[in-house]
Amino acid sequence: MELINNIAKAHGGVSVFGGVGERTREGNDLYLEMKESGVINEKNLAESKVALVYGQMNEPPGARMRVGLTALTMAEYFRDVNEQDVLLFIDNIFRFVQAGSEIIIALIARIPNSFLKS
């Protein structure tokens, strides 16, 4: 929160936060902190300095993995279309990799055994 707050107030850029496998409480607490500090402006969203994307722990691995990619896409939009400086913050990168591993394991389980033996 502190890093995003400092970037927003001192630098004037926009931050994108991708919460991969976050708990609902953690996401809500971060949102309320940013709203309280003025980084998120509910009355005029165009003045907000952060975009939040979450894939909670109870979501399937595909949804959790897409959070990082969605955050990256949003950051590229702010950079390329809005021509803003962007801080991309993905928390927790381990959970992002873990979601990818869970997807791979599920896909391997679907491959017929005859294909794997050759």
Domains and CATH numbers, the chain: 2-117 (3.40.50.300)
Confidence (pTM):
0.81
CA distance 108 to 92: 25
Q: For the packed helices 93-110 and 61-80, what is the interaxial angle rounded to 10 degrees?
A: 130
Q: Which residue reads 């873990």 in tokens?
A: 98
pLDDT tens per residue across span 55-109: 888 889 988 899 999 999 999 999 999 999 999 999 888 888 998 999 999 888 8
CA distance 87 to 90: 10
pLDDT tens per residue across span 21-62: 888 899 899 999 999 988 899 998 888 899 999 988 888 998
pLDDT at 116: 60
